[in-house]
Amino acid sequence: MANNPETVFTYGAPLLKFGPGSSDEIGFDLAQYGVKRVLVVTDVGISATGSPQRVADQMGRYGIDAHVFDGVHVEPTDQSLQEAVDYARINGPWDALVAVGGGSSIDTAKAINLMITNPGELMDYINSPVGGGKAPSQPLKPLIAVPTTTGTGSESTTICVLDVLALKVKTGISHARLRPMMAIVDPLLTISQPPEVTAATGMDILCHALESYTAKPYYTYEHKTAEQRVPYCGSNPVADMWSMKALELLARSFRRAVLHGEDVEARMDMAMAATFAGMGFGNAGVHIPHANAYPIAGRVRDFYPKGYPSHEPMVPHGMSVSLTAPEAFRFTFPAQPDRHLQIAGVLAPGASRPDNPAEALPAALIQLMKDIGIPNGIGGVGYDKADISDLVEGTMKQQRLLATAPLSVNESDIAQIFERSIELW
């Protein structure tokens, strides 16, 4: 327990508009702010569906001149973000941004917004120790996030995630000013999501909720001054509420959404779960599975996931997060046994309890992963025992995330989690 325990927790969230057809109202929403010129940020795959252009066209009814940029790189890199920033600078100025797509599009729009309003280079703002960890000094433009995948929760959060190519590490930029002004969640935009994408992004929702609900409680930290406060403040009553509701929705609809993608009710539950989990982890934080995910994704060699258009090797973010989750929660069980058992009961309500209660949550996760087609551990995406030291090195650079874990974790602990995650079943 902290010598001078924290007594304050914080909570932030965007304005929210949810429901079928909500994406048709963006022009009206932006017109309330006197916006005249907007950059719509998306990727080629989403652009091909016509949704970004439709969003741009309907803004014209409100006198807004909207331009579509479809150069987003799936799983953004420092290089792809810089190219997007350069495009925005050359073709600006912009009064606002609208991101239409998955977490990659929303995160790219966050980076554009940061760099067209603030001085310096991208690396200045990337989290320490990879980058300078600098906070923005100037206000950002209004950003509306319109997710077309159900997973990242980026529409609710202050985080922009990217690969730094030269270092082969995945990291992020985190500051309250990056949070979108408004999230417009239209479940109809997610119907075309392939089952493999639904599975991977859904595991991201699940891990967001699990990690935030089991995060180190806010009152166990040392007391902070106002200027020391960061978006991730530890588990707290408000974040807990959103995380638990997300888990209930996932338990009801995750398998259905993967196996029956045309099920509108299941898609609505998944869209709501993604947003709710974002409201949870965007304030409480995430920990070991996400810290492990960054090197798993950043050091990939020859894994090509089904359902994704990329011609480059990649481990989708939600998949990379899930691969060590069973072992991570086996490790964290002693910190909060009641919480681990509670969420195991939500995810697998009919399952018989194992003799060792620490196995309940890992067993529920493994059964779900089998049912929806997630690879069998990190070995399923091309890693073996010889890679563990490199993976551990990448994880230990994610101290911002590891600080949120309910138990302190060292290199030996992370190595054991990776080793036990080579094959999960």
Residue 6 lies in a domain: no
Return the pLDDT at 169: 78
Cβ distance 136 to 259 under 8 Å?
no
User: Do residues 272 and 170 share a domain?
Assistant: no
Residues of the domain holding 249: 195-420
Q: For residue 370, which of 307, 304, 326, 314 has the smallest C-alpha distance?
A: 326
User: How many separate domains does the chain show?
Assistant: 2
Half-sphere exposure of 77 (CA within 13 A, CB side): 16
CB atoms within 10 A of CB 312: 10
User: Do residues 403 and 285 share a domain?
Assistant: yes
User: Do residues 116 and 155 share a domain?
Assistant: yes
Residue 129 lies in a domain: yes
Cβ distance 207 to 286 under 8 Å?
yes
User: Do residues 256 and 370 share a domain?
Assistant: yes
Q: How far is CA 50 from the centre of its chain?
A: 24
Residue-wise pLDDT tens digits, 226-261: 988 888 899 999 999 999 999 999 999 999 999 999
> Is the confidence at residue 8, as pLDDT, over 70?
yes
> Is the confidence at residue 350, as pLDDT, over 90?
no
> Is the confidence at residue 318, as pLDDT, over 90?
yes
Q: Which of 22-36, 123-137, 307-321, 345-359 has the lowest mean pLDDT?
A: 307-321
User: Do residues 83 and 148 share a domain?
Assistant: yes
Q: What is the mean pLDDT of the chain?
A: 94
Residue 177 lies in a domain: yes
User: Do residues 53 and 107 share a domain?
Assistant: yes
Return the pLDDT at 248: 98
User: Do residues 122 and 28 share a domain?
Assistant: yes
Mean pLDDT of the 172-194 span: 91
User: Do residues 220 and 282 share a domain?
Assistant: yes
> Is the confidence at residue 353, as pLDDT, over 90?
no
Query: Helix and strand tally (H, E) in the chain?
Result: 17, 8
User: Do residues 231 and 311 share a domain?
Assistant: yes
Alpha-carbon gap, residue 28 to 26, rounded angstroms: 5
Q: What is the CATH number of the domain that holds 168?
A: 3.40.50.1970
User: Do residues 224 and 113 share a domain?
Assistant: no
Q: For residue 268, which of 282, 256, 279, 280 has the smallest C-alpha distance?
A: 256
Residue-wise pLDDT tens digits, 373-425: 999 999 999 999 999 999 999 999 888 899 999 999 999 999 999 999 999 99
Q: For residue 315, which of 294, 329, 286 has the smallest C-alpha distance?
A: 294
User: Do residues 170 and 206 share a domain?
Assistant: no
The answer for residues whose C-beta is within 8 angstroms of residue 213's C-beta and 6 or more apart is 235, 240, 243, 244, 247, 280, 284, 339, 343
> Which domain-ending residue is among 143, 158, 185?
185
User: Do residues 240 and 336 share a domain?
Assistant: yes
Residue 15 lies in a domain: no
* DSSP letter string, 130-155: TS--PPP-SPPPPEEEEESSSS--GG
